Structure 1
Amino acid sequence: MNKPWLKHYDKGVPADVQVPEIPLWKLLEGSAQKYPDHVALEFLGYTMGYRQLWESVLRFAGALRAQGVQPGDRVAIMLPNSPQFVIAFYGTLAAGGVCVNVNPLYTPRELRHQLSDSGAETLVILDMLWPRYAEIEQEVPVKRVFTTGIQDYLPFPKNLLFPLKARREGRWVKLPQHPKRLDFKKALRAATPTDQPYPAKPDEVALLQYTGGTTGVSKGAMLTHRNLVANTYQSLAWGGDEVKELEGKGVMLGAIPFFHVYGMTVAMNYGLAAGYKLVLLPRPEVKPCIEAIEKHGVTHFPGVPTLYIGFINFPGIEKRKVGTVKVCISGSAALPVEVAKKFEELTGGKLVEGYGLTEAAPCTHCNPLSGQRKMGSIGIPMPGIDAKILDENLNELPPGEVGELAVRGPNVMLGYWQRPEETQKAIKIDWLLTGDMARMDEDGYFYIVDRKKDMIIAGGYNIYPREVEEVLFTHPKVAEAAVVGLPDPYRGETVAAFIVPKPGVTLTQEELDKHCRENLAAYKVPRIYEFRSELPKSAVGKVLRRELREAALKERQKVEG
């Protein structure tokens, strides 16, 4: 197959990666053997070395086995970024279990679906979230619940002050005596570390990562040990010679949630496999990110566009010491060109847009860190990944034509958990259909035009929200923008833009309309502008266009009603 992108790889980036046939936990074990005394985790002042982390992982594996957890059993983890998350994740794999990442923001209804669908009999949950589990306890297959609190891994005196603060804020939950409940930290202390971590075969499932919740019923992508090891190696290889020099010395900022596949691979697995210090933040907020960069000399800052937008607009950012940042890969949503430029001016580091999806563990494309970057492009396929653009009949389209992006590689999932029909729709002759409309240029750089389902059809024209958003972001008074299609009796759909202005500025519809008319064909110009103080976002920071659309429709019904 012709791969025009290979000639644009940075120095030291291989065309393919040799994926070792090992369980995912071997990556952490390897770093613990190489760098036993290096700091592995830093959490709000608490530090844990690689040797200690690996021992805790083996202890948790021992605790799970003592509770009767067998290879293949599902263990749900409902925690923010914390030492407990890392220990529970790798400990589950070392016991032979299958991890099920659960968003801590989930409501009881969403939690019920995920526990029931996965068949998880073990749950590791933050103490404050116990009431959500208690509400659905009788409706799910869970047999044992490990509870843990943020205070369990805080240094003195923070460990004593945190519960007092939580009580003052009304967030403290007094845990009941309960036959299913086990204390995470006590269980670790009492457990005998396993001396034989489970030797999983490459094609055994390591993780059920749920996806598609915004488009219907959430389904579990079955990601194998090979998928996760491969994508970690592919991500490490992407840094080329420049990043190889940081092995055992880099500092990874773990701000994006590990329960999301992007944070799990690009921050947690990547950071630990490379022997970095992983600085954990329980919430992806801008101020703690800046403080962590200054305090720990962060070199790697993976994030999402909303985090970088907050960073460049943070008051006094020009005076902060953020020059240690070297590598930032933005994922999960489109990165506005203006944001990347400003971020690089402020830090001197490199911020490149990448692309991936849960079903590919997740990274498939990225712009080169040192070589040619094409702003607005998701870049080129990473080592060992093939990509092409297909029409509705699955025929390959030539460069420049818009169609559906399809990818193939050792990182692509086995399929959806207990959903063979959905799997058949997503994977065709070894190719994963992404659901994203895209094009490829002559050099092999790919451009996401938009989600298939987000495309707006107005007056017979196809309009891609991302293109309109890119133009809105170039307006100097715009901090955030999102575009959706709303029903229109004449055009079928019309373009609606939701805008968050920069702090302290006055912005009018007339200004935006003039700006858009100068930069877009008339049929793409928004007919509706709404100003907001913030946009609804998912836990990982992706703007939820669906929620904007639904809120606008409800508002319209009120007015018309």
Structure 2
Amino acid sequence: MSRNAIPQAEPAVLVHEVLDEATADAAPGAVAVGDRDGRWTYQELSEYSHAVDAWLEARGVGPGDRVLVQLPSTRALVALFYGTARRGAVLVPLNPGMKEYHLRSVLANAEPRLVIVADAAVERIAELSPVPVLGFGEVWPEVTALHGTGARASAQQVDADEVAVLVYTSGSTAAPKGVICPHRQMVFASRAINQELGYRPDDVVFCRFPISWDYGLYKILLAALGRSELVLADTDSDLVLLRRIRESGATVVPIVPSLAAMICSLAEREPAGSSKVRMFTNTGAALPKTTVDALRTAFPGAEVIRQFGQTECKRISVLPPEFEDSKPTSVGRPLPGTRVLILDEDGNEVPTGAAGEIVVEGPHVMPGYWRAPELTAKAFRTDPVSGQRRLHTGDFGSVDEDGFLYYEGRRDDMFKRKGVRMSTIEIEAAAMDIPGVQAAAVLPPTEDRDLAVCVVGDLAPHTVLRELSLRLEPAKVPSLCRGVDELPLTLHGKHDRRKLALLFEGTTP
């Protein structure tokens, strides 16, 4: 069967039906998900998701209502994901590291029906939220009690085009933007990815990433499609990472370059141990070949698979491992059932090998951004000829004669650091929020310099960095800061980043 046939031929299903299919097909007693406190079988996960559905119904949550959660990635959060989908409501998972500065804008934009957070955060977040804020310690005993009685909510009709999740990601504005993720697109993308990666019932998927990030979120669906076991490990210490991979019997390990480097470093220091890893999958940023080689050395027989994508369509391309040596700089070929175009500034396709904007068509392209029509119109456009929705990624690259994609970077203010996408604008806005900072300019990281910020004001650099750590997630906090009397500007009134970069030459964190 061709690569393009399977996703197109299969009928669209709902997010929670992926779990239902897995529960029906998985071997009796097959483990679905585990965390450091225990494991659930597929049957147990299904039952807990029904209990969540019943609990949400009792709380008055209905179709289309947003349920915002800011919790660590545990089995309970997986049940909340599936249970919210059953209700026809919309899960809004936020990184526990998101600070008040961005949380305020997400609450205002998402307008959730209720909010669930860690117990210690209830009082603080309740001051920001106009809707009920519940602690996990209050919610989960109630869900567990419903689970004990085998509770089921009233039947709820859910359409595949309804929204399942809002994933908030950094944008070209100071505020995070919510990518609308309907059931149909999420399931198609998951199936198309799995057609390339081939998760199996004997796989143990070691997920280091939070469910609030789409890289972690989709591991839930991919594991269910493969009838695999998902191990949630985003709260584990870095020091025990390699040991946890070995002890869990992990066979699939999703990585970003920083995590891969950490694993390789631990493998060099720790005595060789048994490992069942058969596949590393990378996304978030380009993986250096030296790191690929180090992973292959530390984990003999393991394949390293490069991927490329955006939350706005989940995944764009996957590089099959047999092409790792022959096309080491490629980010792969488009997903089955999808199409990648390389367009010039006028919207015309460029010749093979020429660079242009990466534009994506396919059933995985999301509808847009939540309550952000201007941003949506800019990124999500309709092809006037075919009528297909297109995602204009803002990324630039080329396609070779074999149809393999090569990424060349962004030509705006977006960049990735430690696998996390962010913008100079949002970091500058956070710096400007600090009393005493009159102006700020951010320099994206390069091979010779880490993320840096220049500020105008009377504050000491270490004070600025400390204040930024209170406003931003750790990956978004610069390593370097310099105070300047004024920010150099270009003739067009923009930050002259070339002159600013000179301030940091030869500087290390």
TM-score (norm 1): 0.71
Aligned residues, how many? 436
Paired-residue identity, %: 28
Where does residue 205 of structure 1 map in the other structure?
Answer: 163
Match of 1:445 among 381, 399, 404: 404
CA contact (8 A) 2:101 2:472 kept: no
CA contact (8 A) 1:364 1:407 kept: yes
Q: CA deviation at 1:397?
A: 0.8
Separation in structure 2 between the aligned mates of residue 128 and residue 322 of structure 1, nearest angstrom? 39
Where does residue 335 of structure 2 map in the other structure?
Answer: 382
Where does residue 184 of structure 1 map in the other structure?
Answer: 140
1:286 to 1:223, Cα distance in 2 relative to 1, 3 A:
same
Give the residue type in structure 1 aligned to 2:74: S
Where does residue 256 of structure 2 map in the other structure?
Answer: 304
CA displacement, residues 423-455 of structure 1 (integer Å, 9 cap, x when unaligned): 111112221000111111222111111112159
Q: CA deviation at 1:354?
A: 0.6
Q: CA deviation at 1:135?
A: 3.4
Give the secondary structure class of the aligned counterpart of 1:333. coil
Separation in structure 1 between the aligned mates of residue 214 and residue 44 of structure 2, nearest angstrom? 25
Separation in structure 1 between the aligned mates of residue 445 and residue 209 of structure 2, nearest angstrom? 31
1:252 to 1:441, Cα distance in 2 relative to 1, 3 A:
same
CA contact (8 A) 1:205 1:222 kept: yes
CA displacement, residues 395-418 of structure 1 (integer Å, 9 cap, x when unaligned): 111122111100111111111111
Where does residue 45 of structure 2 map in the other structure?
Answer: 53
Separation in structure 1 between the aligned mates of residue 83 and residue 226 of structure 2, nearest angstrom? 19
Alignment of 1:207-246 (within 5 A): 207-213=165-171, 215-239=173-197, 243=198
CA contact (8 A) 2:242 2:267 kept: no
The yes-or-no answer on 1:369 pairing with 2:361 is no
Match of 1:78 among 63, 70, 75: 70
The yes-or-no answer on 1:392 pairing with 2:345 is yes
1:322 to 1:218, Cα distance in 2 relative to 1, 3 A:
farther
Match of 1:25 among 6, 12, 16: 16
Separation in structure 1 between the aligned mates of residue 308 and residue 290 of structure 2, nearest angstrom? 18
The yes-or-no answer on 1:427 pairing with 2:380 is yes
Q: In terms of mean alpha carbon deviation, does 390-399 or 106-115 score higher?
A: 106-115
The yes-or-no answer on 1:250 pairing with 2:206 is no
1:288 to 1:128, Cα distance in 2 relative to 1, 3 A:
farther
Alignment of 1:104-119 (within 5 A): 104-119=96-111
Where does residue 271 of structure 1 map in the other structure?
Answer: 223
Separation in structure 2 between the aligned mates of residue 497 and residue 337 of structure 1, nearest angstrom? 15
CA contact (8 A) 1:120 1:141 kept: no
Where does residue 416 of structure 1 map in the other structure?
Answer: 369
Separation in structure 1 between the aligned mates of residue 124 and residue 332 of structure 2, nearest angstrom? 41
Separation in structure 2 between the aligned mates of residue 135 and residue 433 of structure 1, nearest angstrom? 38
Where does residue 477 of structure 1 map in the other structure?
Answer: none
Where does residue 455 of structure 2 map in the other structure?
Answer: none
Separation in structure 2 between the aligned mates of residue 31 and residue 336 of structure 1, nearest angstrom? 36
Separation in structure 2 between the aligned mates of residue 72 and residue 554 of structure 1, nearest angstrom? 47
Give the secondary structure class of the aligned counterpart of 1:81. coil
CA displacement, residues 332-358 of structure 1 (integer Å, 9 cap, x when unaligned): 112112111211121121112111111
CA displacement, residues 73-94 of structure 1 (integer Å, 9 cap, x when unaligned): 0011211210111011111111
Note the aligned Cα RMSD (angstroms). Answer: 3.2
Where does residue 291 of structure 1 map in the other structure?
Answer: 243
- Structure 1 unaligned residues grouped into runs of 5+: 1-10, 150-181, 456-464, 470-483, 485-492, 501-535
Match of 1:147 among 135, 146, 157: 135
Give the secondary structure class of the aligned counterpart of 1:329. strand
CA displacement, residues 147-174 of structure 1 (integer Å, 9 cap, x when unaligned): 226xxxxxxxxxxxxxxxxxxxxxxxxx
CA contact (8 A) 2:358 2:396 kept: yes
1:197 to 1:499, Cα distance in 2 relative to 1, 3 A:
farther
Q: CA deviation at 1:557?
A: 6.5
CA displacement, residues 172-209 of structure 1 (integer Å, 9 cap, x when unaligned): xxxxxxxxxx4322343146622555332111111111
Where does residue 460 of structure 1 map in the other structure?
Answer: none
Separation in structure 2 between the aligned mates of residue 407 and residue 446 of structure 1, nearest angstrom? 12
Give the secondary structure class of the aligned counterpart of 2:346. coil
Give the secondary structure class of the aligned counterpart of 1:392. coil
CA contact (8 A) 2:12 2:188 kept: no
Q: CA deviation at 1:118?
A: 0.6
CA contact (8 A) 1:77 1:89 kept: no
Where does residue 509 of structure 1 map in the other structure?
Answer: none
CA contact (8 A) 1:304 1:541 kept: no
CA displacement, residues 449-492 of structure 1 (integer Å, 9 cap, x when unaligned): 1112159xxxxxxxxx99xx9xxxxxxxxxxxxxx9xxxxxxxx
Where does residue 433 of structure 2 map in the other structure?
Answer: none
Separation in structure 2 between the aligned mates of residue 113 and residue 37 of structure 1, nearest angstrom? 43
CA contact (8 A) 2:99 2:473 kept: no
Where does residue 527 of structure 1 map in the other structure?
Answer: none
Separation in structure 2 between the aligned mates of residue 420 and residue 443 of structure 1, nearest angstrom? 37
Match of 1:352 among 299, 305, 308: 305
- Structure 2 unaligned residues grouped into runs of 5+: 383-388, 418-423, 425-442, 451-467, 488-499, 504-509
Q: CA deviation at 1:498?
A: 4.3
Give the secondary structure class of the aligned counterpart of 1:415. coil
CA contact (8 A) 1:271 1:277 kept: yes
